[in-house]
Structure 1
């Protein structure tokens, strides 16, 4: 009789333990979903602001390109076109991210949420790459044919060095801004703030 009572007690204990573990897992998942929802919500304002600012900027640059096309330096036109195209790509990605954030339903299974977060993470990396690619053209838009034809050799060399000082790190960042480097100190320092922290903090889910 004693043995049966011990066995029954053991079975009862195992059952309660399993129920407790299942409840803890569910609570942990619910808390995770609430945190994800809160963090994603904090990303929306900065993305909306960036989109609106970007649209105003590309309209301004497009007008400059159209109005100055016949008289502007080829360096200015090429630099402006590269910059505005990259900005438009970034705006497109931000719009995609807003749609993605809106589609994330924290009441659905966590795996489905994780899949959308993975897309959000990937697009975050790509938009950062595109934004960095714009930097070198800020060192070339003021060049002119006269700079090279009649300019001081030392000044020309200095201009080229300045541009290379931008091109080299930008190419390095374009290659190295990827998920595999998420634990690197420079990467973590770069991806700070309301726009990046929510996505970065969810990368381990």
Structure 2
């Protein structure tokens, strides 16, 4: 066999190998996209359920505030209004997240899907922060003037300590719930469910596709 034939054979083999590798990479990328699609699908029912529950809860509290506005304690009204406002903000975030999940077209460029997943990750952190800000009002909605002016001193001291403790916890969580703390034990305990893990796993899978293309 002449050198020219050997060279032609080698080029043919090299072309077939490149084609096979490209096909394998494409198949791997398609499989990864399907995995990401499955992970995002897992998140939908949880978010829809939470959204519906939040809407029903806000509707109930709104009716309660309106019906008791003249008779209820100022502590109850202020606590309920704060709780409603924070829940409504959280509802808005959940609607935004469902739109992001719906718009996550896996046939689009990888960086675009990664951008939407990053927005989903950030909004998950923010909605958790907002919900934890409600902690103090759960210790004040039942208060009234009589309890504070005529109640036992020990009960008043306990009440102040509990409210301060819940307020400190709410502020601490609001400040420290950040992506940079994702590897800390308390963070993993808070974000162990289906609203967080699928997002992180999806981002990891898509980053693998990006690295292979590079």
- Pair in the same fold by TM > 0.5: yes
- The CA deviation at 1:191 is 1.2
SS of equivalent to 2:54: helix
1:59 maps to: 59
1:192 aligns with 2:192: yes
2:161 maps to: 161
Give aligned pairs, total.
205
SS of equivalent to 1:195: coil
Greater relative contact order (Cα < 8 A, sep 6+): 2
2:83 maps to: 83
CA contact (8 A) 1:29 1:110 kept: no
- The CA deviation at 1:4 is 6.5
Tell me the alpha carbon deviations over residues 56-84 of structure 1, each in whole angstroms, 9 at most, x when there is no partner. 11111011111111121111111000101
TM-score by length of 1: 0.89
2:117 maps to: 117
TM-score by length of 2: 0.86
CA contact (8 A) 2:80 2:137 kept: yes
- The CA deviation at 1:200 is 2.6
- Within 1, Cα distance between the matches of 2:30 and 2:152? 67
Structure 1, unaligned stretches of length 5 or more?
none
- Within 2, Cα distance between the matches of 1:184 and 1:28? 32
CA contact (8 A) 2:117 2:199 kept: yes
Which range is displaced more, 66-75 or 15-24?
A: 15-24
1:99 maps to: 99
Classify 1:6/1:167 alpha carbon distance in 2 versus 1 (closer, same or farther; 3 Å).
Answer: farther
- Within 2, Cα distance between the matches of 1:20 and 1:107? 22
Structure 1 vs Structure 2 CA RMSD: 2.1
2:212 maps to: none
